Structure 1
Amino acid sequence: MTAFEREQIQAVAIDMCTVFKAAVRQVLPHALLVVDHFHVVQLANRAVTEVRRRVTLTQRGRRGRGTDLEWRMRNRLTRRAARMPGKHVDRLVDTLEALPAKIGAPILAASNAKEDLLDLLATARTQPDREHVHRLLHRCYNRCTATDLHRLATTVETWWPQIHAFLRTAITNAGSEGTNRVIKTIARDAYGFRNPENQRLRTRTATTRRHRGHLNPA
């Protein structure tokens, strides 16, 4: 990268990795570091999953099974409530409230904390005022404290300058992250891969714009 190209870079979207952050800081000391919301959402969903697994193990003495209501709701717990039909959200809440309190209450509280964090991220393209952002942030912190999600709250606090930069700029590398996920999925699928060359060909084909339907949506 030339000195001219470095000067043109105003912001860099990064993963939530201290090593990557330090490397970018060393090469681009004046760049604005932005944490992509993709990783924050992933962090929140992981926290909900950890709570669900922990209470199931603690209260049932085993891992989750298909007969457990909380296990059957595992995928719905990691979905954004605002993007779900109202009846699905109501069914999720009713199911968790029907469980024993020591199982359903912590999971529901963790899910609400996740939604608080996603509400905060949703302000990225709305130009929110400072007071509104900090009100949502403190609501998320309070919910995390009440639900024993201290690690989630600590991580958000540690990366808050970079998360706040995302709220102000809405810069994201979600396209690259999506392509990387497709590459990993295809690379792990051994069916039909008879040799490394065939594997590379399948991976390259699966991640072209034409294959993804961008050039021919029909």
Structure 2
Amino acid sequence: MDLSSLFRETARRCFPKAEIVADSFHVVQQATRAMENVRKRVQKDLAKGRRKYFKRSRKLMLMHQNQPSPKQLEQVYGVMGSKDVHEAKKRLSDWFMAVNAADIGEFTECARTYADWMEEILNIFRTGLSNGYTEGCNNRIKVIKRNAYGMRNFERFRKRILHCMSS
């Protein structure tokens, strides 16, 4: 699931024996948002010419793994690339120490979220599960909905979704 405390509490109440797994995309997204918020905060204090360059450097700052990227974000990618739960736990611990040493507010908030979701994040490596398929289905349905703008018959809309999802 994504990192929604409402979803987690509902799952815990309705399925008390279920093992809740955070979705890796949403875990990485937290760190990416933290990096983006740092970039925006720093950008505000720059001179106009440098601000434009910094704004264009956004994609460079968010590149993945073997390409240039800031240390905290690179470490999150490293955590998500762990082979097992023990390696992930060690890398996550190293990331927490780096975030504490850097004392960057946006990443401190991200670390708080990770600490709150630690069990669910580590379950990614215990189970190997992802909600990528579900996210893909939701995206396909949204595209169908956008293309069907103005369709008044819900049953026809439902059948169209079922037909498109079965192919």
Q: Same fold (TM over 0.5)?
A: yes
Look up the match of 2:8: 21
1:51 to 11, 14, 38: 38
1:163 to 117, 121, 127: 121
Structure 1: which 4+ aligned runs deviate by more than 4 Å?
none
Question: Is the CA contact 1:182–1:206 (under 8 Å) kept in the aligned structure 2?
Answer: no
Equivalent residue runs for 1:83-122 within 5 Å: 89=67, 93=68, 111-122=70-81
Q: CA deviation at 1:68?
A: 2.1
Q: 1:175 matched to which residue of 2?
A: 133
Distance 1:193 1:31 in 2: 37
Unaligned runs of 5+ in 1: 1-13, 83-88, 94-107, 211-218
TM-score with structure 2 length normalisation?
Answer: 0.79
Matches within 5 A, 1:110-149: 111-123=70-82, 126-127=83-84, 130=86, 132-145=87-100, 146-148=102-104, 149=107
Structure number with greater Rg is 1
Residues 36, 173 of structure 1: 8 Å contact kept: yes
Structure 1 residues 112, 18: closer, same or farther in 2, change over 3 A? same
5+ long unaligned stretches in structure 2: none
Separation (CA, whole Å) in 2 of partners of 1:66 and 1:209: 51
Length, aligned pairs only: 161
> TM-score when scaled to structure 1?
0.62
| CA RMSD in angstroms, aligned pairs only | 3.1
The structure, 1 or 2, with the larger RCO (C-alpha pairs under 8 Å, 6+ apart) is 2
8 Å contact from structure 1 (residues 120, 133) kept in 2: yes
Does the Cα contact within 8 Å between 2:31 and 2:73 map onto a contact in 1? yes
Q: C-alpha displacement at 1:147, in angstroms?
A: 5.0
Query: What residue is the counterpart of 1:103 in the other structure?
Result: none
